[in-house]
Amino acid sequence: MTDMQVTGATGSEPVHRRAAWWRDAVVYQVYIRSFADGNGDGIGDIAGLRTRLRYLADLGVDAIWVNPWYRSPMVDGGYDVADYRAIDELFGDLDDADALIADCHALGIRVIADIVPNHTSAMHRWFQDALRAAPGSPERARYWFRRGRGLEGELPPNDWRSRFGGSAWTRVNDPDGRPGEWYLHLFDAQQPDLNWENSEVRLEFEAILRFWLDRGIDGLRIDVAHGLIKDPSLPDLGERAASEELQAPPNTIDHPHWDRDELAGIYRRWRQIADEYPGDRMFVAEAWVTSSDRLARYLDDGLLHTAFNFHFLTCKWSAQEFRGAIDTTLNSHSLVGAPPTWVLANHDEPRYVTRMGRSDRIRQAEEHAQSPGVDLALGTRRARAAALLLLALPGSAYVYQGEELGLWDVEPGVGQIQDPAFARTGRTRDGCRIPLPWSGDRAPFAFSQPPVAADDVWLPQPAAWSDLTVSAQLTSQHSMLALYRAALELRRQHPALGDGTLDWCEPHRPGVLEFTRAPGFRCVVNLSGDPIELPAGANVLLSSVAVAGGLLPPDAAAWLEAQRQSPV
């Protein structure tokens, strides 16, 4: 946590005020289904998470973000919410959630919940009511129901695509059983899009926010924050429709349903609500937009606090790309006074070790699925270096569960695939959602308490993870876990780290990222392919590999004590 120096009311006396926690927090993402199972059914839950909080406190994180835990048919891992005020029985109940929040707070860990406002589950009461109601009814007006095109209304109302593949429209039967209207779903057909032009929808979500803020939640991650507003005339996309499916970055410029300016009205209201609560409650937006400048618009005065920086996540292993992403992020965010966030992984993307061990490709695009085997040693070296880069940058950082263990993607066999995107696209995100290995030398690695057979865990874990269990890594100084723990501890202690600014070192060495942060900190990341010299006499605070003879090998990073400026 940073202390900010601000000038006191008299204008002369500087006073120290603690900056809001979210400006430099390290947030650990808990994919709850795969974190820890507390009732022995092979599926992670709140009880399991509560038993492992000491691990997170010792790791040194400031907050956790828990993926959706609401009542849900679990068609899309809980991003299909049937009741926003209830915990799904797979994960526990509201008492468990309250107890989790209290436990976390007792350990100094904040809790960020996930809110899913773009769509509900088809099993949500509102959608069920809409199906029973007539075209033009108030029940249907909460969603996007439209007559189809064609003589019999047999064609979708427009050419919008689902992010999970195929048309974004599904036709329903009228109460008399005859084919009737179509409804919009930008994701799975079980995830109908809400109509945010409808005031009932707005009021309902304001009440849901209060429901969770009243329970002591410190923040909310907004799912598909860039999608809520649609152009009500529902114009065709034309040529752009083809690029709309999963994992292709949406072309959001002047788009009929992504990143529309009218979103600001919703988030201005949400910010007012969060600000009514004590204790710096915050939002973090999941917004896939075309540029850092567009992202910063969500963080403008009176709007959201933070947003995921996917520009950084999509960088190849290239100093030039990273530097470009860092500069544009810092510039755009400083204009609105918001702290950047840095993200390398989440539950939708292949794990970093896998991506970086596979080639320099960026995301789970076609090449990812088809490219040859993964060089895990290379991926792991790069993931270690990237962790030091991420944690040295100004702002807040996100760590996806298992990144601190150096896990890699494991694609389940076709019969075991759970991701709904697979049916429509042939691609699955299950590979990065494998349950965590805690201890022991064989699957399920103490994931479940009481213990279960390996086959009873919801996605299978590879035998090779026996070296990567938490308990195995705690006994090794050279493990990924040891690196993360050391980095997080240093980040807490070092006055230069967290919120603030950076200065690139000159002269610039090609393939090298090198910056200083005041006071007395320097970060060097070598992406050049050759060993590079560290500054003479540099005191290494932490490095991703052993540094010998003043040389930093390729695919490695070091944190150094920089010469402090002498006071003028």
Look at residues 44, 47, 27 and name the one whose alpha carbon lies nearest to residue 36.
44
| Binds ligand NOJ (CB under 6 A): choice among 24, 76, 181, 244 | 76
Determine, following the binding rule CB under 5 A, whether residue 43 of this chain makes contact with Ca ion: yes
Among ligand NOJ, Ca ion, none, residue 110 binds (CB under 5-8 Å by kind): none
* Binding flags for ligand NOJ, 98-137, as an x/- string (CB under 6 A): ------------------x---------------------
Contact 392, 517 (CB under 8 A): yes
Among the listed residues 286, 403, 430, 555, the single catalytic one is 286
Q: What is the CA radius of gyration of the chain?
A: 24
Question: DSSP state, 223?
Answer: T
- Nearest approach in angstroms of CB 522 to ligand NOJ is 35
Is the CB of 182 or the CB of 310 nearer to ligand NOJ? 310
- The residues, ordered by sequence, that sit 6+ positions from 421 with a Cβ below 8 Å of its Cβ are 163, 164, 165, 188, 246, 427, 428, 429
Measured distance between the N- and C-terminal CA atoms of the chain, rounded to whole angstroms: 27
Look at residues 334, 239, 226 and name the one whose alpha carbon lies nearest to residue 288.
226
Q: Which one of 44-52, 276-284, 351-359, 375-383 is the stretch in contact with Ca ion (CB under 5 A)? A: 44-52
Q: Which one of 26-34, 73-81, 470-478, 548-556 is the stretch in contact with ligand NOJ (CB under 6 A)? A: 73-81
Look at residues 533, 530, 535, 519 and name the one whose alpha carbon lies nearest to residue 567.
519
**Chain position carrying tokens 């849900």:** 72
Determine, following the binding rule CB under 6 A, whether residue 348 of this chain makes contact with ligand NOJ: yes
- Nearest approach in angstroms of CB 227 to ligand NOJ is 9
- Nearest approach in angstroms of CB 43 to Ca ion is 4
What b/e sequence results for 202-218 when a residue is b if at least 16 CB atoms lie within 10 Å of its CB, and e otherwise?
bebbeebbeebbeebbb
Question: DSSP state, 119?
Answer: B
Determine, following the binding rule CB under 6 A, whether residue 545 of this chain makes contact with ligand NOJ: no
| Binds ligand NOJ (CB under 6 A): choice among 45, 62, 223, 259 | 223
State the Cα–Cα distance between residues 361 and 426, nearest whole angstrom: 19
- What's CA 412's distance to the chain center, in Å? 22
Among the listed residues 223, 404, 409, 514, the single catalytic one is 223
Q: Which one of 72-80, 102-110, 513-521, 526-534 is the stretch in contact with ligand NOJ (CB under 6 A)? A: 72-80
Among Ca ion, ligand NOJ, none, residue 180 binds (CB under 5-8 Å by kind): none
Strand (E) or helix (H) holding 421: helix 420-425
Determine, following the binding rule CB under 5 A, whether residue 96 of this chain makes contact with Ca ion: no
- Nearest approach in angstroms of CB 420 to ligand NOJ is 8
Q: Is 286 a catalytic residue?
A: yes
Determine, following the binding rule CB under 6 A, whether residue 244 of this chain makes contact with ligand NOJ: no
Determine, following the binding rule CB under 6 A, whether residue 193 of this chain makes contact with ligand NOJ: no
Determine, following the binding rule CB under 6 A, whether residue 218 of this chain makes contact with ligand NOJ: no
Q: Which one of 45-53, 81-89, 250-258, 279-287 is the stretch in contact with Ca ion (CB under 5 A)? A: 45-53
Burial of 283 (0-12, 13-18, 19+ CB in 10 A): buried
- The residues, ordered by sequence, that sit 6+ positions from 12 with a Cβ below 8 Å of its Cβ are none
State the Cα–Cα distance between residues 427 and 417, nearest whole angstrom: 10
Q: Interface residues with Ca ion (CB under 5 A)? A: 37, 39, 41, 43, 45
List residues with catalytic annotation.
Answer: 223, 286
Q: Interface residues with ligand NOJ (CB under 6 A)? A: 76-77, 79, 116, 187, 223-224, 286, 347-348
